[in-house]
Amino acid sequence: MCRLCDPARPLLPCPVGRPLRAAADVGGGGGPQTLAGLPAGLGEPGRKLLIRGGAVLSMDNGVGNFVTGDVLIEGGRIAEVAASVEAGDAAVIEAKGKIVMPGFVDTHHHQFETALRSQLAHGILINDGRPENATNYYETILQQFSMVYRPEDVYINELFGGIAQLDAGVTSVMDVSQIHHSPEHSDAAIEGLRDAGRRGVFGYFEGWGDKAQYPGDAARIKAEHFASDDQLLTMVMGGEIYLPGYEEAWRVGRELGLPIALHVVGTFGMADTFDALAEAGQFGADNIFIHMTGMSDMAWQKAADAGAHVSLSVPIEMHMRHGTPPIQKALDLGMSTSLSTDVECTMTADFFTQMRSLITLQRMGVNEKALAGQDHPDLMQCPAAIRHATMGGAEGLKLDGRIGSLTPGKDADIILLDAEALNVAPLNNVPGAVVTLMERSNVETVFVAGQVKKWQGKLVGFDVPKLRAELESSRDYLFETAGVDRDLFA
């Protein structure tokens, strides 16, 4: 029996043919948040929902923005966005004092590392031979900690990491789960993503050990878990070019019609292989290139010409010695670009941090040129930073027809941000407040496909204390089995 299946609980339809336990029961007993206190009728199937009177930031030029506006949700989708909407008997959420906008889209997050949060706060990406860098991401996280994960560790890490980002307004994620040591590990990752109840793209990357079946297990995974397009979860193929045999992963991914995602980091010795792929015409619009630090101008141009997508993890790239985040390069080439949080063992998965890092680093480079009297690009504006955090991510994950903006017909992945909070009031500029003032505590209410996931500052449907205890238990097992001392002040 999988972690989702429990005959003692009410059943929900499952897109892969298995009965699922009710999402509101995730975490077991002990008092998970319920729909109590929500507007009357909101939990009724088919009931319309009107978000009324908020400052609407649509991220769609055709729809526009509204100082005071309404958003109508029907059947899980956005039905209308206007200054005023008549919706009859719709359940109403009063949004005065709130910013209403699309949820954030994270295009690269290693959620299986949630139990290792802050453990690598001082580490860099790879061992460069210096004693202070012997504790580094590749050796410590991937080759030490990850090797001892059980499927149950994968599950609770995925689930807790997912609901933590829901709490912060990140309604969609590409989970880069480099933990596929067996088919059971893969299934556990998918179950954790699904139980979190948000939109997710399962990134099928590598694993290690005798039971690992990457990339050959991709066909089974796709058939069993992603046969339907009418679900919150989709799939991406990992195709890391630093691994022997990456060509097979690319072949399998394209044969299955999956986007192919990979880390591209010059300091990891990938530049020559990346150049060879560029020259061979192997890039396509199905590629998601993560980081893109240290690549040649030729490879950049080939990637741009092919319509490939770039996912930037600006704080991590600066902190962990990936190289300078290539923000301006991607902008100059007009590439579709998004933001991603990468690894919580080193940095927060909060998207306000991502937007602020993006805009301040880009403007620092421009300002340096301006002060030196040199020609310089335009300074990034706050709406552009928000676009990278919403529509940019949707484009990268091939979901821009479903999410990323408040556009009628799209799925209702919507967040309400408190603009009357102490750190924001009085509200004078909506994009400016979102990018330069706000943080995760301002995320008051969250919807995914029209379903309430957070209400007035509280997650709905999860027994967080119980799940936290399970995560701590997993953490203890991982440290003990990996032979790592947990020193809180190291």
The CATH number of whichever domain residue 82 belongs to comes to 2.30.40.10
In a domain, 34, yes or no: no
Per the structure, the complete domain to which residue 417 belongs is given by 49-103+404-459
Do 183 and 212 belong together in one domain?
yes
In a domain, 170, yes or no: yes
Give the mean pLDDT per block of 10 residues along the chain (490 residues).
37 32 42 57 76 98 98 96 94 96 98 97 91 88 96 98 98 97 98 97 96 97 92 97 95 98 92 97 98 97 98 97 97 98 97 98 98 97 98 98 98 98 98 98 97 95 97 98 93
Distance CA 442, CA 431 (A): 14
In a domain, 30, yes or no: no
The per-residue pLDDT for 345 is 97
Per DSSP, helices labelled H in 89-217 are 151-167, 183-196
Do 180 and 248 belong together in one domain?
yes
Do 283 and 298 belong together in one domain?
yes
């890391």: which residue's tokens? Answer: 240
pTM: 0.93
In a domain, 490, yes or no: no
Do 182 and 284 belong together in one domain?
yes
Distance CA 419, CA 439 (A): 11
pLDDT in tens, 257-298: 999 999 999 888 899 999 999 999 999 999 999 999 999 999
CATH of the domain at 274: 3.20.20.140
pLDDT in tens, 163-203: 999 999 999 999 999 999 999 999 999 999 999 999 999 99
The per-residue pLDDT for 133 is 82
What is the number of domains present in the chain? 2
Backbone φ and ψ of 265, nearest 5°: -135, 120
In a domain, 329, yes or no: yes
Do 217 and 153 belong together in one domain?
yes
Per-residue tokens: 165? 């980002």
In angstroms and rounded to an integer, the radius of gyration of the C-alpha atoms of the chain is 22
Burial 413-426 (b: 16+ CB within 10 A, else e): bbbbbbbebeebee
In a domain, 469, yes or no: no
Do 284 and 315 belong together in one domain?
yes
Which sign does the torsion angle of CA 191, 193, 195, 198 carry? Answer: negative
- E strands along 297-387, which residues? 309-312, 337-339
The per-residue pLDDT for 35 is 58
In a domain, 23, yes or no: no
Other beta carbons within 10 angstroms of residue 167's beta carbon come to 20
Contact 207, 214 (CB under 8 A): yes
Distance CA 184, CA 89 (A): 47
Q: How far is CA 465 from CA 8, 256, 441, 459, 469, in A?
A: 22, 40, 19, 12, 6
| Residue of 202, 226, 199, 231 lying closest to 448 (CA atoms) | 199
Other beta carbons within 10 angstroms of residue 444's beta carbon come to 22
| Residue of 198, 4, 225 lying closest to 111 (CA atoms) | 198
In a domain, 111, yes or no: yes
Q: What angle do CA 452, 455, 457 make, to 5 degrees?
A: 140
User: Is residue 475 within a helix (H) or strand (E), and if so which, with residue range?
Assistant: helix 464-482
For residue 104, what are the β-bridge partners?
170
| Residue of 393, 286, 294 lying closest to 339 (CA atoms) | 393
Do 73 and 179 belong together in one domain?
no
The per-residue pLDDT for 294 is 95
Do 297 and 343 belong together in one domain?
yes
Do 88 and 193 belong together in one domain?
no
Greatest alpha-carbon span in the chain: 71
Per-residue tokens: 172? 């969609």
| Residue of 396, 455, 325, 454 lying closest to 106 (CA atoms) | 396
Domain endpoint, select from 372, 396, 420: 396
Distance CA 53, CA 186 (A): 44
Do 293 and 215 belong together in one domain?
yes
Do 311 and 331 belong together in one domain?
yes
Which sign does the torsion angle of CA 196, 200, 204, 208 carry? Answer: negative
Do 276 and 306 belong together in one domain?
yes
Contact 386, 431 (CB under 8 A): yes
Half-sphere exposure (Cβ direction) of 331: Cα atoms closer than 13 Å: 20
